């Protein structure tokens, strides 16, 4: 059975920076949960960041790949540099995905860790740009297909077409 790494907040866990969840209510998610396909992770919490915590964004309108290549940093709105924690969380998520043989990930969009289609611009202005967070970028670098919560139907089609589904 193919497993899916999934952001804990999408399953109702209150682990986001603001202490809340970002629950995705979808029949596919419920089915995959019931089938035992879901491998739940919050990279930030896994790396030791508290809940709640100050908002953090990748600086200079860069992406997670830039952070992994040491061309960008992640700062909280307090100014604190939390790059090391976000990279550590991404590595933990990757290790978990590999240990569970996940070929797919369903991650919360917008996050500096889990964003896969868009992230915030680093100015704490609410503006976004196309890009991926650190965890999404690291997973992709290791051949794991990453989907945002708005792409659940696309993930379901991918799973249906994959061998061993």
Q: Parse the chain into domains and list their residue ranges.
A: 3-161
Q: What is the mean pLDDT of residues 85-105?
A: 98
Instruction: Specify the pTM.
Output: 0.97
Per the prediction, the chain carries an average pLDDT of 97
Q: What is the predicted pLDDT for the residue at 165?
A: 47
Dihedral sign (CA 60, 89, 23, 54)? negative
CB-CB contact of 158 with 105 (8 Å): no
Q: pLDDT for 113-144, tens place per residue?
A: 999 999 999 999 999 999 999 999 999 999 99
Q: 64-99 burial, b for 16+ CB within 10 Å, e for fewer?
A: bbbbbeeebbbbbeeeeebbebbbbbbbbbbebbee
Angle formed at CA 9 by CA 129 and CA 91, multiple of 5 degrees = 75
Q: What is the predicted pLDDT for the residue at 164?
A: 53
Task: Return the structure tokens found at 56.
Answer: 């953090």
């Amino acid at each position: 059975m193919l497993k899916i790494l999934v952001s804990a907040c999408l399953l109702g866990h209150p682990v986001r920076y603001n202490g809340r969840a970002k629950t995705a209510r979808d029949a596919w998610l419920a089915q995959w949960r019931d089938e035992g396909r879901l491998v739940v992770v919050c990279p930030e919490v896994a790396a030791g960041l508290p809940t709640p915590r100050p908002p953090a964004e990748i600086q200079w309108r860069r992406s997670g790949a830039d952070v992994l290549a040491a061309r960008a940093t992640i700062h909280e709105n307090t100014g604190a540099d939390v790059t090391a924690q976000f990279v550590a969380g991404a590595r933990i998520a990757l290790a978990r995905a590999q240990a569970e043989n996940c070929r797919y990930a369903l991650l919360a969009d917008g996050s500096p860790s889990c964003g896969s289609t868009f992230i915030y611009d680093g100015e704490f202005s609410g503006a976004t740009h196309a890009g991926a967070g650190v965890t999404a970028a690291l997973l992709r670098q290791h051949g794991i297909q990453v989907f945002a919560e708005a792409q659940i139907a696309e993930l379901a089609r991918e799973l249906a077409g994959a061998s061993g589904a």
